[in-house]
Structure 1
Amino acid sequence: MTGAHTDRSLLPGAVVALGGGHGLHASLSALRHVIEQVTAVVTVADNGGSSGRLRDEFGVLPPGDLRMALAALCGDDEWGQTWARVLQHRFAGEGAMRGHSLGNLLIVALWEQLGEHVDGLDWVGKLLDARGRVLPMAVTPMDIHAEVLGHDPAHPDEVTTVRGQVAVATTPGRIISLELDPPDAPACPEAVEAVKAADWVVLGPGSWYSSVIPHLRVGELREALISTDAKVVVTLNLGEQKGETSGYAPEDHLAALLDHAPGLRIHTVLADVGSVPDPEALEGIVRSLGAELVLAEVAAPGSTSQHDPGRLADAYARIFGGVESFAPWR
């Protein structure tokens, strides 16, 4: 198992971060500098690009978000950064390899060799000398189904079922609810155990309906998140995402999360100080949930959509351990 690295500058304890894509990559890039044990639990509903092609051809989990999480956990030394670049390398050309990521192919190769998803990911982690463990949220490929109000602009009051991660992520209209197919797929047992044993759980940032909320629709994983003694931190996005969260304010993101897991107990909500139009309103809602609002500068300089890993590390360190400034790689 990976994740055995220790550093005297790291805070003691274990954190589980759930999500997918670029949002989870930013969060993991921060967390590996902050706390001793990091586990990523990654969505497995992607049906586009290289991941979708490999999923269809080999019947495996879509590897892309898992690959990005592993790359985020690579170390800052020459070995780690070289492997991070290799893992993320995407082939050009005009042939069958066009668009495939080398990391996706490596992961699928190990799955075929070992016949087991978790073992394959652990072996990739060992090869990379990853500073944490990466697990899928389930061991069955899943599809997202969303009920969308006003998907057809000509019929704004009608509800339409939109199927597939790519379609949901870019849908016009307003998403009302999200389900997974198959609806009763078992969660990855190691992911459930990690959530139960964690000191902290981090949800977000990331595509809210296609990367974050899917974890709350896997029954065993949702129950673990609701019953765990871990303190739950929700890291809000920097703003709305065209398509799935168009027109959303920060409080709308929280409402959507709780609509899909009503029993979830939130300890802290982390938001970028420059991305909250009405801090007092958000603080009132967060307090009504029994949680604490932390406003910090966590956006990447000059960006309205990307979090900065260094700034996130400072914010997480303050939340986890009261550390005022914490960025040992600077």
Structure 2
Amino acid sequence: MGGGHGLYQTLVAARLSAPESITAVVTVADDGGSSGRLRRELGIIPPGDLRMALAALASDDEEGSLWAQTLQHRFGGTGALAGHAVGNLLIAGLTGILGNEQAALDKVAELTGSHGRVLPMCNQPLEIEADVAGLDDDPRVIRPVRGQVAVATTPGTVRRVRLIPERPEACGAAVQAIEAADLVTLGPGSWFSSVIPHLLIPGIVDALNATGALKVVVLNLSAEPGETHGFSSERHIHMLSQHAPALRIDRILVDADTIPTAAERSYLERAAAGLGATIVYEDLRTEDGNGQRINKHDPSKLAAALTGLYREARGGGASD
């Protein structure tokens, strides 16, 4: 569950874990770039995050790799097509031909030899609105900021976000997938625009609390410029509790180098307890060609960590 580059990395990790099936449940509130243009012009669910999930799940063979590259290709130039991703246009065109977005997504999955299915979290385009402090001389003044791009890039401090329309209906197939899952992940990704929006849909939260799956939050490696600038890891967790007080999670997966001190870890563990969760620390960062750790999850390390958590929860050993 998520969106953008964070979900892409998690889906690659899921593939490395070789599960029986994978389902991506994707946010649908993007209003920028190619996706924003298509949702405004055609009234469709913004396709960008859905396209990225399809690319992440594409087959490893030559045909699947070609399709994944094609989906992600963006037109250059200065004309009407400039900036549009081929996959966004393909999803939009198939939606018009087949009559609905899910049929279009499933058809693209056929073309790519997908390792799984991609579902929107909701079958209608949504907007994000945030209460933001720090936009005035008086830091106590809270102002609304509307739109995913505006929220993600605000110079102020986000206090809370909501969806428009509020309490939208969850995608039925997404609810079924969550309830039937063995392992559910939420995050990493843009906290207020890709992660928390799932928790603002009552049907999604109900499904998360009803499922017998192991539920794992993958915490971001660092705060992001804009929406979570200056946020501690502890505050990221508090934001989940604030937006979905009824939510219960099993594990919160944290990169071991992100929280180096015992004091910081104790604060984080107390915050996790509010969600019914325990913290698990693992080495999750990618290393560049010079052996330097960078702020990007390594899919192979993430796959190993998630597989280990699942086996432990099911009573198996690391070699099972």
Scaled by the length of structure 1, what TM-score is found? 0.89
Q: Distance in 2 between matches of 1:318 and 1:62?
A: 35
1:53 paired with 2:43, answer: no
Q: Pick closer, same or farther for the CA change 1:107–1:255 going to 2, 3 Å.
A: same
Superposition CA RMSD, Å:
1.7
Q: 2:299 aligns with which of 297, 301, 309?
A: 309
1:303 CA drift (Å): 4.7
1:318 paired with 2:308, answer: yes
1:233 CA drift (Å): 0.2
Q: 1:177 aligns with which of 132, 146, 160?
A: 160
Other-structure match for 2:99:
115
Aligned length: 308
**Contact 1:234 1:266 (C-alpha < 8 Å) held by counterparts:** yes
**Contact 1:41 1:191 (C-alpha < 8 Å) held by counterparts:** yes
- Percent of pairs identical after alignment? 50
Other-structure match for 1:205:
188
Other-structure match for 2:280:
294
Superposed counterparts of 1:159-238, under 5 Å: 159-238=142-221
Q: Pick closer, same or farther for the CA change 1:82–1:161 going to 2, 3 Å.
A: same
1:82 CA drift (Å): 1.7
1:228 CA drift (Å): 2.3
1:311 CA drift (Å): 1.2
1:243 CA drift (Å): 1.1
1:195 CA drift (Å): 1.1
Q: Pick closer, same or farther for the CA change 1:143–1:290 going to 2, 3 Å.
A: closer
**Contact 2:167 2:200 (C-alpha < 8 Å) held by counterparts:** no
**Contact 1:213 1:257 (C-alpha < 8 Å) held by counterparts:** yes
Q: Distance in 2 between matches of 1:212 and 1:284?
A: 21
Q: 2:74 aligns with which of 90, 107, 113?
A: 90
CA distances 1:202-245 after superposition (whole Å, capped 9, x unpaired) = 11000000000001111222222233222210000001011111
Q: Pick closer, same or farther for the CA change 1:315–1:57 going to 2, 3 Å.
A: same
Q: Distance in 1 between matches of 2:267 and 2:148?
A: 32
Other-structure match for 1:3:
none
1:244 paired with 2:230, answer: no
**Secondary structure of 1:141 counterpart:** coil
**Contact 2:241 2:274 (C-alpha < 8 Å) held by counterparts:** no
Other-structure match for 1:70:
54
**Contact 1:143 1:181 (C-alpha < 8 Å) held by counterparts:** yes
1:325 CA drift (Å): 8.2
1:100 paired with 2:84, answer: yes
**Contact 1:136 1:188 (C-alpha < 8 Å) held by counterparts:** yes
Scaled by the length of structure 2, what TM-score is found? 0.92
